Amino acid sequence: MSGTLRNTLLLCLCLLPAALVAALAYELTPIYIGAYAPFKPQIPPQTLLLFAIYNWLWVVPFSVVFIVWFKWPNLKRRALAAGVLGVVSAALVLGIAYWAVFQPDLILASIRGGVHAP
């Protein structure tokens, strides 16, 4: 396999977690926007922020992968570094988005007595 083809395949593989985050954001967030619409005044600010920027969630993991890919000093390890940091950044973005989307549910459950805050 030529070096250029190998690099292209590795870069595409590194971008898969970012693509997954983007697909999940585009698929799931509009469902919650509609579900929480009647309660908009009571929605926490972090959830409103997520609803406003969910179209751009893919930017962070893609940017991390591209920056690491083009700036990593060791060319032999750049695919590994870009892949690992791409997965880490995608997991962080996904975790924060998950927390923001389910924050209203947790608040409602604690009000109803289903969840007890420490």
pTM score: 0.77
C-alpha torsion sign, points 85, 18, 49, 40: negative
Q: What is the pLDDT along the chain (118 residues), one digit of tens a residue?
A: 666 787 788 888 888 888 888 888 888 888 888 888 888 888 888 888 988 988 888 888 889 988 998 998 988 888 888 888 988 998 998 888 888 888 887 777 776 665 544 4
The amino acid that residue 20 corresponds to is L
Nearest to 14 by CA among 57, 96, 70, 98: 70
**Domain ranges in the chain?**
3-111
Return the residue matching tokens 């570094």. Answer: 81
Q: What is the pLDDT of residue 67?
A: 92
